A = this chain, B = another copy of it.
Amino acid sequence: MSTENENTVVPLSKRKIACKDCSLFQICLPVGINGEELERLEQIIQRRRPVKRGDHLYHGGDPFRSIYAVRSGSIKSYVPTESGNEQVTGFHLPGELLGLDAINNRIHPCSAKALETTSVCEIPYDQFELLSNELPVLHRQLIMLMSKEIFEEETHTLLLGKKSAEERLAAYLFSISSRYHRRGFSASEFYLSMSRNDIGNYLGLAVETVSRMFTRFQEDGLLSVERKHIIIHDLERLKLMAGAVPGKCGEQFFCLGSS
């Protein structure tokens, strides 16, 4: 949560932090981008001042202008429905993108709300498109990330379609753990930035069911939970409880959370 100077949109070049110095570098841009290409990409990336908890990056229905990468903090994506309800469609942790569902229609189908003070990189899509004409590697990278997103949505479909409440929460916690771990944080101890309500919504469960499951997990000695602070005591067991994983995993051909 480094509070750099907090102004409105400032070109990256005017700031100290460049992609190549960013801790998310290898997550955002894992493959074959060279120094010169990176520099040109950086020139179009905008770093905005951090958004505060509860603020929206965009609302469902807004015109699409940019895709975003989370630098720090976390974002919740949700589909607002007519009845005033919402369906949470995902949580975005550092190094993850959002807004990819809006490219086709040029309108955001989802809203994106900060769960805590959050910094994002904004990539204006028109400029990205122009630059990609010269640097096909950018398109290629985006396609990879979108493919990954599609796969992850399928994993979530599997969860919603086939898993019990217990399996859902276990899978959820395991996923969060893996993603933090990948970012260099502890896999066994972390703070959940989202409410029980959001978790339940995302997992297709009532809040009360989520609460009860947390209680049960704690009674079983699987983890300690105190409000949003989670300590996993047995990651292996958590993984087992999460049940089915696409492709039978078992190291057969790939694993959730691998890049």
A positions within 8 Å CB-CB of B: 60-61, 79-83, 85, 87-89, 100-105, 107, 109-110, 129, 132-133, 136, 139-140, 142-151, 153-154, 156-158, 160-162, 201-204, 244-250, 252-254
CB distance from A224 to the nearest CB of B (A): 28
Which of B87, B147, B157, B161 has a CB less than 8 Å from the CB of A146? B147
CB neighbours (8 Å) of A100 from chain B are 146-147, 150
This chain: how many copies in the complex? 2
CB neighbours (8 Å) of A109 from chain B are 151, 154, 246-247, 254
The answer to whether residues A160 and B158 also contact, given A61-B253, A81-B248 and a CB cut-off of 8 A, is no
CB distance from A139 to the nearest CB of B (A): 4
Q: Bound complex: CA of A110 vs CA of B158, how far in Å?
A: 11
Which of B101, B151, B248 has a CB less than 8 Å from the CB of A104? B151
Which of B104, B136, B160, B254 has a CB less than 8 Å from the CB of A132? B136
The answer to whether residues A104 and B61 also contact, given A109-B246, A244-B81, A250-B82 and a CB cut-off of 8 A, is no
Which of B82, B129, B147, B160 has a CB less than 8 Å from the CB of A103? B147
